[in-house]
Structures are given as structure tokens and as C-alpha cells.
Amino acid sequence: MALTLLLAVLPTRWLGWTGDAADIIRIPIMPLAGVGSRVAGAMRPVNVQRGAAGNVEDLLHVEGQRDRLERLLLQEQLRSAEMEAQLRHIQGLPPRTSSSQPPLLIELDVTGRRPDHPVSGVELHVPAESTGRVQVGDALTWDGRWLIGRITRVSDIRLSALPITHPDVGPLMGVLLPEGVKANAASAPAVRLRQNGRGQLLGEIDRRTDAKIGDRIVLADRAWPVSLQAFRIGRVTAVEDLDEAPLRRRLVVEPEVHLYELPWVVVVGPDGPDGVVQ
């Protein structure tokens, strides 16, 4: 009993062998977990705002195409602003190459989740085509519009991932785009977001900035691949005054899509030297 108590209080990083033991135990459970996850996804659809008029499938397709085109426009605006900053600092222009090949995306099923906690991680199925191609740090996306998480553990049996609202993912840099106004990422105010551990992201912004509930936050962070820039992070749900900083206000941001709600995700790796996702 004393030995058991001692092992229970030791830091988890000292017990690395427990992860391999857990993988072995999960082998007979993974097929059933995949079936259960798909059934749960069918019974509990993703909570995304949808139109009620006309053909729903056609409407969703058109909305998705519109959002993708807007994201591509924002990516180019962010790239242009970055180049202008480099020129002002006499850093020179980086080589800009293009490729006709589309980015390589891998679709993975969610096989394990905790729907009772907004910052809990998920486990992903390991298909044969992802072996050796998915790495720790790769991003998780949904519907080509939302950035929802990052890979934290890779093994031959399972993959583990955390949502962007988990503190271990780290701060995110984004830009604030007002709702209902033509987006211009180059002149949009930048916001540094940090996780509060309750499924939300917090950021501070100048009081003179016209920030309202419902405004969007999109990714503008050099620590993430270029192909992920302008992906949606979430929407502003509250704007609060700061007693300790009267000239600034706090933004409370919540994702529109949560990782634990999804039946599958798309993994996006780092950008290659020719602009193609590896």
C-alpha cells in the first residue's frame, strides 16, 4: 500500500511506461470506441448556426465556399502586411513560390472524448495512411474554416489532441474582425489570446477599439503554418472593463465549434519549402 501511494503522487512524466501500457489495454476497445463515437456524432450534431430557408445542404455548401474565399483573402492581407513590415525593417522579401498541388490533409475519426469538460482532450483513430505523417504539433481543423486543436501525442496505436482552449496549447495571436463589416486583416487590431482553463480565451485590447459581442477572431500567428492563417478561432462573447488597466478592455472569446463535439477532424501539418503541407 505504501508503494502504491508513493507511485500515485509521483509526477506523471516519471511514469512514461504507463502510456505504453494504456495503449496495449486500448487495443480491443478501439473498434467499439470508433463505432460509439460515430453513433454519438449522429445523435448529437455539431452546434453551428445554420439557415432555415431553402435547401439546407445547398445553403451550407454556399456558406462554406464563401467562408473559404474570405479566409483566403484574409491570408493574403496578412501576408502583405507582414511583407510591408519586413521592408520597413530592411529585412528583404522572402521568396514567394506557388504550387499547383493542393495541401495534403488527413481526416481522422474521434474515438475517445469527454463531453462533460470543454477543455478535455480527445483520442483519434490512426489510419494506415497517417503512419509517419502525423507529428506532435500538427493542427486540427474542422470544415476548412475553424482551428480547433493540436496533436499532443503520437503512437502506433492512438493519437491524442487538445483543443485550442487548453492551457497547454499556449497563447494565440489573432486579429479582431467586426461582424457585418467587410473584413480587412491588414488594418485589423491584433489580440493576444490566452486560455483561462474553462473553455474560453481571454485577450486585452485598446479601449478605443470598437469591439462588440459577436465579432470574430481569426488566427494571425507566425508560430502556426501559413496555410492556417485566417482560420477562425472564435467569437467575442463579452467585453469587460479592467480596473487595473483603465485604458484597456478584456475580450472573452469562445470557439464556435468545440473539439469534443466532433465525430472527425482534419489534421494539417507544417508547410513545406514549396508551400505544400507535408
pLDDT band at 10 (very low <50, low <70, confident <90, very high): confident
Q: Decide if 278 is inside a domain.
A: no
Q: Decide if 158 is inside a domain.
A: yes
Q: What is the DSSP string of 212-244?
A: -TT-EEEE--TTS-GGGTT-EEEEEEEEEE-SS
Predicted local distance difference test score (pLDDT) of residue 16: 63
Give the pLDDT mean for 50-54: 46
pLDDT band at 6 (very low <50, low <70, confident <90, very high): confident
CB of 151 closer than 8 Å to CB of 241: no
Is the pLDDT higher at 78 or at 272? 78
* CATH number of the domain where residue 150 is located: 2.40.10.340
Give the separation between CA 238 and CA 252, rounded to whole angstroms: 5
Q: Decide if 112 is inside a domain.
A: yes
Q: Decide if 120 is inside a domain.
A: yes
CB of 143 closer than 8 Å to CB of 168: no
- Is 60 exceeded by the pLDDT of residue 67? yes
- Is 50 exceeded by the pLDDT of residue 53? no
Q: Decide if 118 is inside a domain.
A: yes
Q: Decide if 68 is inside a domain.
A: no
Give the separation between CA 60 and CA 77, rounded to whole angstroms: 26
Average model confidence (pLDDT) for the chain? 80
Give me the number of domains the chain comprises: 1
Give the pLDDT mean for 12-18: 63
Give the pLDDT mean for 221-247: 91
pLDDT band at 9 (very low <50, low <70, confident <90, very high): confident
Predicted local distance difference test score (pLDDT) of residue 276: 37
Q: What is the pLDDT of residues 100-145, one digit of tens each?
A: 344 568 888 898 887 777 788 999 988 877 777 888 999 999 988 9
- Straight-line distance from the first to the last Cα atom of the chain, in angstroms, rounded to the nearest whole number: 49
CB of 194 closer than 8 Å to CB of 200: no
Q: Decide if 132 is inside a domain.
A: yes
Query: What's 204's DSSP letter?
Result: E
Predicted local distance difference test score (pLDDT) of residue 216: 94
Q: Decide if 189 is inside a domain.
A: no
Residues 6+ apart with CB under 8 A from 250: 202, 203, 204, 239, 240, 241, 242
Q: Which domain holds residue 142?
A: 106-163+261-268
C-alpha triplet 93, 229, 85: angle, nearest 5°: 30
